Amino acid sequence: MIVVTGAAGFISSCLVSELNKQNENRIIVVDDFSKHEKDNNLQSKIFIEKVERDDFFDWFENNKLNVTFVFHLGARTDTTEQSVAIFDELNLNYSKKMWQVCTQYNIPLIYASSAATYGNGEFGYDDNHDVVNQLVPLNPYGESKNDFDKWVLQQKYSPPFWAGLKFFNVYGPNEYHKGRMASVIFHSFHQLINTRKIKLFKSHNPNYTDGGQMRDFIYVKDLINICLFLKQNQTQSGIYNVGTGKAETFLELALSTFDALGIEPNIDFVDTPIDIRDKYQYFTEANMQKLLSIGYPNKFFSLREGVNEYVKNYLTPSKYF
């Protein structure tokens, strides 16, 4: 059996869908299922059992001999949340316990880290273990992810294979429930449908023009391909970047959205909200050489390709993956 945590969420529900497409149906889905706005993400998916997040470790004790792999992708992902206690509970301590049971029972583990660990990028965006202790995340969410990475690298004992995945800016189907934390593409699409224009943040950094802020945007289908490649090729445990290796501007993102809908560009630039302005990343770009060095074979969607597929195949018809 394969365990997938955060299974009703954006990325994990896409993972479950792709596992089903590969005829893997012996899946245990773990989440806080009291949040019914995520229910549609698991409709039509095939799995054995739903397990509440708080009940998982009790369930595990009774089923551990049947678990063959764990994808621990569930986390509190709100970058505006300031409660360290919440992140300690859900992102740090829960993940430590998952690591410990996978180590004890010899179960391979893939877990979600984040590009938020890189902060302003003053130490670059290399998934080199030597820099993890130097990184300075910009918010408690990023700190919780980096704290777990640091803890992992200090452990004497580990699962037989493990990979911590530093997700960059992920977008794609099944993020309908995410509200403010949904991707800029998701918000741009709905702005465009409702107002025939897109709002982008002004730059408050003299090194970047309005709309010239750059991120490494990765389509969720590419991310899932990486997860499954690592599951099948358990050659080198470690922390891996999960991006495309190419930063693109928010202006290009907006223009791609207009193009996918066949609408003439009309962009308003608005002030970045005060509560995130001093913690805003102006540039991210994953160094993908570590993953490529172990033989990852797939070409990544370009931003324009990914936006086009997302808008036409999922957002416009309101479909799920």
pLDDT tens digits, 120-155? 899 999 999 999 999 999 888 889 999 999 999 999
**pLDDT > 80? residue 79:** no
Catalytic residues: 141, 178
Average pLDDT over residues 101-108: 98
Give the start-to-end residue ranges of the domains of the chain: 2-170+217-246+286-301, 175-214+247-284+307-315
Average pLDDT over residues 70-83: 75
Q: What does the pLDDT read at residue 11?
A: 97
Structure tokens at 37: 């706005």
Compute the distance between CA of residue 227 and CA of residue 223 in angstroms, rounded to an integer.
6
Q: What does the pLDDT read at residue 313?
A: 98
Task: Give the H/E segment covering residue 269.
Answer: strand 267-270
Percent of the chain with pLDDT over 90: 87
Alpha helices for 196-249 (secondary structure H): 220-232
Q: What does the pLDDT read at residue 50?
A: 97
Residue range 245-289, pLDDT digits in tens: 999 999 999 999 999 999 999 999 999 988 888 878 889 999 999
Q: What does the pLDDT read at residue 88?
A: 65
In one-letter notation, the amino acid at residue 248 is E
Q: To the nearest whole number, what is the mean pLDDT of the chain?
A: 94
* Residue 271 backbone dihedrals phi, psi, to 5 degrees: -60, 140
Q: What does the pLDDT read at residue 280?
A: 83
Q: What is the CA radius of gyration of the chain?
A: 19
Are domains 2-170+217-246+286-301 and 175-214+247-284+307-315 of this chain identical in fold? no
Residue range 150-164, pLDDT digits in tens: 999 999 999 999 999
Residue range 283-316, pLDDT digits in tens: 999 999 999 999 999 999 999 999 999 999 999 9
Residue 48 pLDDT grade (very low, low, confident, very high; cuts 50, 70, 90): very high
Residue 75 pLDDT grade (very low, low, confident, very high; cuts 50, 70, 90): confident
Q: Select from 3.20.20.30, 3.40.50.720, 3.40.1800.10, 3.40.50.300 the CATH code of 2-170+217-246+286-301.
A: 3.40.50.720
In one-letter notation, the amino acid at residue 196 is R
Please state the CATH superfamily assignment of the domain spanning residues 175-214+247-284+307-315 in this structure: UDP-galactose 4-epimerase, domain 1 (3.90.25.10)
Q: What does the pLDDT read at residue 164?
A: 98
Residue range 214-224, pLDDT digits in tens: 999 999 999 99
Strands 69-72 and 109-114: parallel
Long-range contacts, 159-162 (Cβ 8 Å, 24+) = 159/99, 159/102, 159/103, 159/106, 159/107, 159/108, 159/109, 159/237, 160/106, 160/107, 160/108, 160/234, 161/108, 161/109, 161/234, 161/237, 162/99, 162/102, 162/108, 162/109, 162/110, 162/111, 162/237, 162/238
> Token pair 């998982």 is at which residue?
56
> Token pair 């590009």 is at which residue?
115
Residue 80 pLDDT grade (very low, low, confident, very high; cuts 50, 70, 90): low
